[in-house]
Amino acid sequence: MEKTKVLFVCLGNICRSPLAEAVFKHKVKQLQKENDFYIDSCGTANYHVGDPPDSRTIANAKRNGIEINHVGRQFSGEDFERFDFIFAMDKKNLRNILQQTSNVEWQNKVKLFRSIDTSDDELEVPDPYYGTEKDFQHVFEVVDKTASVLVQVLIR
Ligand code: 4NP
């Protein structure tokens, strides 16, 4: 059976989306479903192409029991073909992605990550880049909760 291909997208691909990728992979693995999924992340900006995730994100994730392994890359038009689901971390990134295609079928693959979790009204994962450890921990908790919902939605 074809894998379900899931892409997480933020701005820099060093804080939010590599965390979402790692947390979602962890949850899929716990359910022994890793062979059913291809999971990746990228950024709409190109500032951190080739870079590892932010050291604060790596350290925070580790404290929460999650190992992150990723190399930064920028979103490209080919991602519309390659992925089944494209989850943007905030509205600005959602708009940026949607502007890159006029194909409605491709546009329909793109959603706000937090829109999956209907138990709260917040739709954006806040950017922690200029924040403190408290902000990184908040991002972790949001991503962890949303990824728990997503895994239940996508598991087959
Ligand atoms: P991310 O956070 O989009 O969650 O990876 C950011 C990373 C870098 C920058 C902004 C946000 N930056 O301006 O370099």
pLDDT in tens, 132-151: 999 999 999 999 999 999 99
Segment holding 111, helix H or strand E: strand 110-112
User: What local confidence, expressed as pLDDT, does residue 1 receive?
Assistant: 84
19 phi, psi to nearest 5 deg: -70, -45
38 CB under 6 A from ligand 1? no
For the record, the structure tokens of 11 come out as: 């701005």
Look up 16 and say whether it is catalytic.
Answer: yes
Segment holding 61, helix H or strand E: helix 55-63
Pocket test for ligand 1, best of 9, 11, 97, 136 (most atoms within 8 A of CB): 11
Query: Computed over its alpha carbons, how large is the radius of gyration of the chain?
Result: 14
16 CB under 6 A from ligand 1? yes
- Predicted confidence band of residue 86 (pLDDT cuts 50, 70, 90): very high
% of the chain surpassing 70 pLDDT: 100
Look up 15 and say whether it is catalytic.
Answer: no
| pTM for this prediction | 0.98
For 36-69, what is each residue's pLDDT tens digit?
999 999 999 999 999 999 999 999 999 999 999 9
- Predicted confidence band of residue 156 (pLDDT cuts 50, 70, 90): confident
